[in-house]
Amino acid sequence: MVEKRKFLILGHPRSGTGFMVKLFQLFGYDIGHEKMGKDGISSWMFAVEDYQVYCDNTLNRQDFIFDYIIMNIRHPFDIVCSTYYTENIAKESLEYRKKYINFDGLNEVEMAVKSVLEWYKRIELQRPILKVCIDKNPEEKLFYFLKRFENKELIFQNVKIKEKVNARSHPDMDYSFLKANCNKNLMSQLENLCELYEYNIEKIP
């Protein structure tokens, strides 16, 4: 039997799906991070109809329907950097994404870039009703969404989530390093993704 929940939040690994749980909690919703809450789930793995490999591996996207699909993103360059240094060395995560993304012939930098590009393309094609840039006033963005679509009687308190959520320490990546190790086609697509969500990639050190 298919179960119904209110919110499905999708992103790429290291994009802020854990942060989104804290954001929804700010407004009183029970959203689980890679596990199902009363009001829904925030999980990059639910971008596909497959069983999760982390947290609750009994959960499969096709067993649920949701009122709202919401996409979260941060600066794509930052997601690529975190993916390169921390996520693609995690076997379970990489093998999961390999089932849906062809990495043949790519170096490790290009794999990180293509993963971000293809995972977001998969999410965007599901027509999320809201796209939240977690590094661009996400509290205010969600506040007005809930007032409009949930008829929530909310008073905006201008509260910010200051703590980092599920952050992993890793080296910084220079833009010049990325450009030198990534083919022109993928670089062009990454620049287009940045432009689409109004992130400036040229000012990165």
Q: Is residue 8 part of a domain?
A: yes
Percent of the chain with pLDDT over 90: 81
Q: What is the 3-state secondary structure (H, E, C) of the chain?
A: CCEEEEEEEECCCCCCHHHHHHHHHHCCCCEEECCCCCCEEECHHHHCCCECCCCCCCCEHHHEEEEEEEEEECCHHHHHHHHHHHHCCCHHHHHHHHCCCCCCCCCHHHHHHHHHHHHHHHHHCCCCCEEEECCCCHHHHHHHHHHHHCCCCCCCCCCCCCCCCCCCCCCCCCHHHHHHCCCHHHHHHHHHHHHHCCCCCCCCC
Top pLDDT among 160 and 15 is at: 15
Find which of 113-117, 138-142, 155-159 is predicted with most confidence, using mean pLDDT.
113-117
pLDDT in tens, 29-44: 999 999 999 999 999 9
Q: Residue 175's domain is classified under what CATH number?
A: 3.40.50
Q: Provide the domain count of the chain.
A: 1
- pLDDT in the model for residue 142: 94
Q: Give the domain extent around 180.
A: 3-196
Q: Is residue 38 part of a domain?
A: yes
Q: Is residue 205 part of a domain?
A: no
Confidence check: pLDDT of 59 > 80: yes
pLDDT in tens, 151-201: 777 666 667 777 676 777 888 898 999 999 999 999 999 999 999 999 987
Q: Please give the structure tokens belonging to residue 92.
A: 């379970």
Q: Is residue 125 part of a domain?
A: yes
Q: Is residue 152 part of a domain?
A: yes
Q: Is residue 202 part of a domain?
A: no
Question: Cα separation of 142 and 146, whole Å?
Answer: 6
Q: Is residue 153 part of a domain?
A: yes
- pLDDT in the model for residue 156: 63
Q: Is residue 201 part of a domain?
A: no
* C-beta atoms surrounding 183 within 10 Å: 14
- pLDDT in the model for residue 203: 55
